[in-house]
Amino acid sequence: MAVYQMTDDLRVNDFAIRSFRDVADEDYIAARLAFRAALVEPSLWASQQALEKYLKCILLLNRIPGKNVKHNLRVALDAISASGKVPFELTSPTQKFIEFIDEFGPFRYLEISNVAFGRHLTYLDRAVWELRRYCSLSEEHKRTKLCQGVIPPKIRLDGGHLEAVMDDINNPAREPLLWQNAFFGARSRRIVKRNPWFKATNAPLYLYPQMLDEILKYVHLQDRVVAGYRAHKPPK
C-alpha cells in the first residue's frame, strides 16, 4: 500500500495555492461586486489585490524570486518574463488593464485622483482568466489561449476555489461570480451586458497640495505620493 508523503516541495506549492491563488479568487469576486455596484475605490483596490496574488502564485509555483514585487504588478510581470520558466503570453487588452490597475489600484485612501469605468469589469474577467491558467502545474492550461471572436475556453483548476464556488448552487458568492461573466461558468456567453458607469474623482491633496506638510503630521503617505505632491502645483 502506497503511503502519501508531504514533501517540502509540495508544502511550498500548497502555500502558493492556498495563500495566493485561493485568496486572489476571493479578491476577484469582491472586485466584481464592487464594479457592479459602481464603487470606485473598492473595485480598483480589490482588482489590484487579486492580480497581485495571482502573479505571486505564478512566481512561487515556478520558484521565481519575488521578494521585491511588493504591490508592483509590473515588477512581477517582468520577473516572470525574465525567468524564462513560464511560456507567459497575455493579450493586449489584459496588459493595458494591468497597467491601469497598477497605476490606480494601490491607493486605498484617495491619496491620488482616480478614475474607473463599469466596462472594466469585462477586462478584469479577461485578465483573471489569462493569469489564473498559469496558477497551476498543468501544462495544458498554460497552452490554452484566447482567440479573437471565439468564446473563451472553459478552464477548471483542480481544487480551485472559484470552481468550488461555481459548483455550489447555494454558495452566496456564486451569483456575484457568474453575473455577466463571459470567462467563468458553465454557460457560454457570446454577449455580456456592460455597466456603463464612469466616475472620476480629484484627490484632496491634488486640489490643495499646500496642505501636504500639515497632513503628514498625522498620517503616513507613500514616498512616491509625497514626492509627487512636492512637485505638484494646485489647479487654477
Q: Is there a single domain that holds both residue 127 and residue 213?
A: no
Residues 6+ apart with CB under 8 A from 60: 12, 13, 15, 16, 20, 66
Q: Judge whether 150 lies within some domain.
A: yes
Q: Residue 232's pLDDT is what?
A: 78
Average pLDDT, rounded, for the chain: 92
68 and 108, same domain (yes or no): yes
Same domain (yes/no): 108, 136: yes
Range of the domain at 18: 8-201
Contact 82, 53 (CB under 8 A): no
Number of domains making up the chain: 2
Helix, strand, coil in percent for the chain, rounding step 5: 55, 5, 45
If asked whether residues 138 and 222 sit together in one domain, one would say no
Residue 1 within a domain: no
pLDDT tens digits along 14-67? 999 999 999 999 999 999 999 999 999 999 999 999 999 999 999 999 999 988
pLDDT tens string 142-191: 888 887 778 888 889 999 999 999 999 999 999 999 999 999 988 777 78
- Residue 139 pLDDT class (50, 70, 90 cuts): confident
On whether residue 2 sits in a domain, the answer given is no
Q: Is residue 22 part of a domain?
A: yes
Asked, for residue 182, whether it belongs to a domain, the answer is yes
**Does pLDDT of 235 surpass 90?**
no
Share of the chain above pLDDT 90, in %: 74
Tens-place pLDDT, residues 179-203: 999 999 887 777 888 888 999 999 9
In a shared domain, residues 97 and 137: yes
Closest among 119, 157, 117 to 135, alpha carbons compared: 157
The residue to which cell 491563488 is assigned: 21
pLDDT band at residue 236 using 50, 70 and 90 as cut-offs: low
Determine, yes or no, domain membership for 218: yes
Same domain, 40 and 105: yes
pLDDT band at 136 (very low <50, low <70, confident <90, very high): very high
Report if residue 130 sits inside a domain: yes
Residues 14 and 115 in one domain: yes
Same domain, 153 and 222: no
Same domain, 180 and 217: no
Average pLDDT of span 89-116 = 94
Stronger pLDDT, 94 or 195, i.e. the higher one? 94
Both 148 and 223 in one domain: the answer is no
DSSP 151: P
Same domain, residue pair 55 and 107:
yes
Phi-psi region of 119 (alpha: psi -120 to 50; beta: other; left: phi over 0): alpha
Q: Are residues 32 and 139 in the same domain?
A: yes
